[in-house]
Structure 1
Amino acid sequence: MALKESSRDVFYALLQGPDLEALLRVVYTPTIGEACLRFGSLIPRPSCLYVSAAMAGSVAEAVANWPQQGVRLAVVTDGERILGLGDLGCHGAGIPIGKCIVYAAAGLPPDWLLPIVVDVGTENAGLREGDPLYVGLPQRRLRGDAYYSLMEAFSMLQRLRASGTPTFNDDIECTAGVTVAALLGALRVQGVLPLEQQRFLFFGAGQASLGTARLIVRLMQRRGVPESVARSAIWMIDSRGLITTARKGLTPEKAEFAQDPTGQLPPDLAQASAGEGTPIAARGGRSQAQVAAALLQRAIAALRPTALVGAATVGGAFDRGVLEALVQSAAAEAGPDARPLCFALSNPTEKAEVRFGDAWEWSGGRVVYASGTAFPGLAVASDGSAVPLEAPPNPWASQATSAGGVEPGGSRGAGAGARVLRPAQCNNSHVFPGLALGCIATGASAVNDDMLLAAAGAIAGMVTPGELASECVLPSMARLRETTAAVAAAVAAVAFGDELGTVTVDSARCA
């Protein structure tokens, strides 16, 4: 941030250089979480537009006073749900600041970008009452009409969409898009079951998981799977256990994926999931992760999933027993050579359900893995032993391939003849820059699921043979600008195909 403040041009030029993959780990995941926790002591001067509860009625004027002209994209947060860190109030400003840096790194002009934090207070008493460096309003959050009146210039997602303003929630829709991209990439790995034979178990049923599940259903429908069959292949676990039709008081969103437990769950597990308790909580001398792992093992044994997706921010929940159960489940469904999927999407790093090295070891090298945060790869010797890699800053940049990508280069820690494995970083930054660019270029009036599926397909199509040989099912973050261009083109095609684009295109000039 010091470089950004002292020399803006040098900062953005650095992001266009060869060390993009390493720099993204500094300006975005996983460092951005730590930056938010220390936001009050890190920021020397304002780096985003600040809108507070005291400014009700004058939000539009505040936006108009932003010094950069020609803003095309605003990234807005009220700081209530930050990564796996919860309510950080005004200190959540680090998220839109970091995302705007990613947009610029992906090729969008910095002057197009406007990070905004809306300060409506915080429910985090530690910040509100105990942090002398907290920069926001030391009050509890506004709710109801007072909150919505402040949001007059931004409104809510559905209302903006109704007015023809393209909006998206990158932590929901773009997380869904990149997870589906990872799924499409994984389907190219030998031993992974075809999409129509996959059975999914989600650990975590927040908006990101629900959005991902809906997009998977749409993808399966496109592959000829009836909607009811696609939904039946997806089970979810929230803080109270498995989501079943026996559960009372489900939200409409969760009810979409509530499954009938009859004949599918042991009676005691079905009864526990229908209750009012909170089974995934520390108790009886066991940590929350240990309680979660015990439930996951039982659920896997009963449901036989072939894909496990974690987005519950319970670090370490996928322990050895869970990984072994997942491998056994896939083998029972498709034979001993079957390879299950393990996507540990929670971040920052300490919230990840399982690290890559542990997932590989505990599964005997069977799982195909992706994670929300970056983890080092492995050098696997011919005898099956593995050594963690100390990756160079730009590990993919050794030579171009015929597919237009890059092959993995040498890495410190890899012995002669060792096979190098690199986990895919399943981060929404693969999606949101290209999605926004495609909408801006076409003047799209809305964002729809077809755009997200097109983005997912474009990202999966960017995976090179070399990356796939290293079981990296998503393109390297070092190629973010290439990926962004591919996603933007795919999104633009959908925008015009679905008659959402408002820009007039001269087809002769585009031929």
Structure 2
Amino acid sequence: MMNGVEKTNGEDVATEEQLITPWTVSVASGYTLLRDPRHNKGLAFTENERDAHYLRGLLPPALMTQELQEKKLMHNLRQYEVPLQRYMAMMDLQERNERLFYKLLIDNVEELLPVVYTPTVGEACQKYGSIFRRPQGLYISLKEKGKILEVLKNWPESNIQVIVVTDGERILGLGDLGCQGMGIPVGKLSLYTALGGLRPSACLPVTIDVGTNNEKLLNDEFYIGLRQRRATGQEYAELLEEFMTAVKKNYGEKVLVQFEDFANHNAFELLEKYSPTHLVFNDDIQGTASVVLAGLLAALKLVGGALADHRFLFLGAGEAGTGIAELIALEISKQTKAPLEETRKKIWLVDSKGLIVSSRKESLQHFKKPWAHDHEPVKGLLDAVKAIKPSVLIGSSGVGKTFTKEVVEAMASINEKPLILALSNPTSQSECTAEEAYTWSKGRAIFASGSPFDPVEYNRKVFVPGQANNAYIFPGFGLGLIMSGAIRVHDDMLLAASEALAAQVKQEHFDKGLIYPPFSNIRNISANIAAKVAAKAYELGLASRLPRPKDLVKYAESCMYSPVYRSYR
């Protein structure tokens, strides 16, 4: 306890104490200290520290500040031509000097986010077997069935606040990468620390390996996972049940479990099954929905009208598409007091068989059924655009190049400022590029994408495309849950996160056509999102950390991990 407030983030609560290591934490000495990524500072160890911790002779004589180390590393990173080499250099740094890794990531977030996360992380997962050096995170396979609680106890940290877990079946738009999906939880959790301020030691990446249906991996001599087809049905459900039970038993009621990159059928079932009993969040369904809704709320300042005045058409009716659609319908319902069944009618979805309409209801998967409205069947996207006349077109199909010239031109002929969101990742799967959206709409489109695109010059005007990146939402969302001690996730918390993010978009951003704020200010954005999410948790009676702090934004900032070096006595 500290000043009567329980430390949310353990030893790393940001106070004046933070710069001196407490006596209770024993820091290894000598050679071992240099090999410990959490405490190693490299050439930043002072003369006194070198004497006190038996480092004399183990380091060259020069002394460097953390700032100078950062400058050197950024210089080195920029020399690499290939993004994957930058990714590997960043992973090596994380294994060598944890604080310097996070300092680099926080101070250069716009430049390094695409390196440690999308799009580069996709390629890293595809090649994970051959670039695999040192295991990160916890691998739980079918071999560990019946022993998962013991396996969790093998992890060196006992105070875990957030777990990101994948089974590798649907990695970004790249499909089944089996055990190599570990790159996703590792990358997501490094963003939880850098952008949301969670302690690195409170984060646990997990991959559940039930096999893979990817023939290429099964035949790859360097593959690191189980060499068998994916387990399904009861065998799969039992392993997940054992995992979820063990997690709660080992880490308590308040540990956040974030599901990541599960295939559609499992993603919906797991979320539905565990939402009533665990603190669970699916970033692909809920995080994506929240960040897209935030962009739409902000975009209203550019296109005018209320959310309820617009018509929405989706290409893709999987977990992202239906998740976004449902959150939009919830927000319209909240604003207009109209029932959800009514507000859903403003939203139309196209899947691989065409427009989802009521005559198809019998053959639809359960999560698509709420979106089957009365309309004659329509085959392709272009015909759907012409029939529905949407003002907002959202791509969540995982299939690249699907927003064709004809589709974008049709959107521009119906709307003065068509809103076009090409959300599929990585860049190769994007429904269209920023340049295509601006050129084909003659500079009138408001565009955002899932992967980053460079600014585009059209007709002597520079357009800056927004990135609807989940990294805007989940770090602040998770921090809000953890600092309030929330025990369940409620949809109203997602709406609160969206509204908080939309409120961070200022006039200067709108002037550039942006519907998201710049990432350079992300820790401040995360603190504001965390405060709104926590406030909602207290309001709904789902918070367990009492009393409620007076100023939630300040409290969120005080909970954030700082990557600045500590002084050792």
Deviations 1:152-185, CA, capped at 9 Å, x for gaps? 122643443322x311001110000000000011
- Whole-angstrom distance in 1 between the partners of 2:439 and 2:279: 44
| 8 A Cα contact 1:32 1:95, kept in partner | yes
Is 2:241 the partner of 1:241? no
Q: Which of 70, 87, 103 pairs up with 2:159?
A: 70
Structure 1 residue 506, shift from structure 2 partner: 5.2
Q: Which of 97, 108, 111 pairs up with 2:198?
A: 108
Q: Which residue of 2 aligns with 1:492?
A: 534
- Whole-angstrom distance in 2 between the partners of 1:432 and 1:507: 22
Structure 1 residue 508, shift from structure 2 partner: 6.5
1:36-47 map, 5 Å: 36-47=125-136
| 8 A Cα contact 1:87 1:122, kept in partner | yes
Q: Which of 323, 329, 345 pairs up with 2:423?
A: 345
Shift in CA distance, 12/509, structure 1 to aligned 2, threshold 3 Å: closer
Is 2:329 the partner of 1:217? yes
Is 2:289 the partner of 1:176? yes
Alignment partner of 2:163: what SS? strand
| 8 A Cα contact 2:484 2:537, kept in partner | yes
Q: Which residue of 1 aligns with 2:510?
A: 468
Q: Which of 162, 169, 175 pairs up with 1:80?
A: 169
Counterpart residue identity of residue 251, structure 1: Q
Deviations 1:202-231, CA, capped at 9 Å, x for gaps? 000001111111100011112216234321
Q: Which has the higher helix share?
A: 2
Once the two structures are overlaid, the 10-residue window that deviates more, 239-248 or 88-97, is 239-248
Deviations 1:478-505, CA, capped at 9 Å, x for gaps? 2221111111001001000011111111
Alignment partner of 1:187: what SS? helix
Q: Which residue of 2 aligns with 1:300?
A: 385
Is 2:433 the partner of 1:355? yes
| 8 A Cα contact 2:538 2:548, kept in partner | no
Q: Which residue of 1 aligns with 2:223?
A: 134
Alignment partner of 2:348: what SS? strand
- Whole-angstrom distance in 2 between the partners of 1:363 and 1:303: 19
Counterpart residue identity of residue 111, structure 2: A
Counterpart residue identity of residue 271, structure 2: L
The answer for unaligned runs of 5 or more in structure 2 is: 1-90, 246-269, 555-569
Counterpart residue identity of residue 360, structure 1: Y
The answer for unaligned runs of 5 or more in structure 1 is: 274-294, 331-337, 386-418
- Whole-angstrom distance in 2 between the partners of 1:302 and 1:139: 46
Is 2:234 the partner of 1:120? no
Q: Which of 160, 167, 180 pairs up with 2:274?
A: 160
| 8 A Cα contact 1:69 1:111, kept in partner | no
| 8 A Cα contact 1:192 1:340, kept in partner | no
- Whole-angstrom distance in 1 between the partners of 2:354 and 2:404: 18
- Whole-angstrom distance in 1 between the partners of 2:444 and 2:181: 38
Shift in CA distance, 127/507, structure 1 to aligned 2, threshold 3 Å: closer
Alignment partner of 1:61: what SS? helix
- Whole-angstrom distance in 1 between the partners of 2:98 and 2:385: 51
1:364-379 map, 5 Å: 364-379=442-457
Is 2:402 the partner of 1:317? yes
Q: Which residue of 2 aligns with 1:4?
A: 94
Counterpart residue identity of residue 120, structure 1: V
How many matched pairs?
435
Counterpart residue identity of residue 296, structure 2: L
Once the two structures are overlaid, the 10-residue window that deviates more, 148-157 or 466-475, is 148-157
Once the two structures are overlaid, the 10-residue window that deviates more, 223-232 or 315-324, is 223-232
Q: Which of 234, 238, 241 pairs up with 1:149?
A: 238
Counterpart residue identity of residue 308, structure 1: L
1:261-300 map, 5 Å: 261=375, 265=376, 270=377, 295-300=380-385
- Whole-angstrom distance in 2 between the partners of 1:509 and 1:487: 13
| 8 A Cα contact 1:204 1:236, kept in partner | yes
Is 2:458 the partner of 1:458? no
Q: Which residue of 2 aligns with 1:279?
A: none
| 8 A Cα contact 1:193 1:339, kept in partner | no
- Whole-angstrom distance in 2 between the partners of 1:497 and 1:480: 25
Counterpart residue identity of residue 25, structure 1: P
Deviations 1:297-320, CA, capped at 9 Å, x for gaps? 111111111110001011111111
Structure 1 residue 423, shift from structure 2 partner: 1.0
- Whole-angstrom distance in 2 between the partners of 1:57 and 1:84: 33
Structure 1 residue 476, shift from structure 2 partner: 1.3
Shift in CA distance, 214/11, structure 1 to aligned 2, threshold 3 Å: same
Alignment partner of 1:75: what SS? strand
Is 2:522 the partner of 1:480? yes
Q: Which residue of 2 aligns with 1:289?
A: none
Deviations 1:238-264, CA, capped at 9 Å, x for gaps? 111111111131122211000111xxx
| 8 A Cα contact 2:329 2:343, kept in partner | yes
Q: Which residue of 1 aligns with 2:252?
A: none
| 8 A Cα contact 1:300 1:329, kept in partner | no
Alignment partner of 2:301: what SS? coil
Over aligned residue pairs, what C-alpha RMSD do you find? 1.7
Is 2:161 the partner of 1:50? no
TM-score, normalised relative to structure 1: 0.82
Q: Which of 187, 190, 193 pairs up with 1:98?
A: 187
Alignment partner of 1:16: what SS? helix
Deviations 1:289-337, CA, capped at 9 Å, x for gaps? xxxxxx221111111111100010111111111100011122xxxxxxx
- Whole-angstrom distance in 2 between the partners of 1:196 and 1:158: 27
Shift in CA distance, 231/509, structure 1 to aligned 2, threshold 3 Å: closer
Counterpart residue identity of residue 440, structure 2: W
- Whole-angstrom distance in 2 between the partners of 1:59 and 1:323: 50
Deviations 1:255-296, CA, capped at 9 Å, x for gaps? 1000111xxx4xxxx2x65xxxxxxxxxxxxxxxxxxxxx22
Alignment partner of 2:342: what SS? helix
Counterpart residue identity of residue 483, structure 2: A
Alignment partner of 2:448: what SS? strand
In our comparison, the structure showing a higher alpha carbon Rg is: 2
Counterpart residue identity of residue 364, structure 1: K
Shift in CA distance, 44/341, structure 1 to aligned 2, threshold 3 Å: same
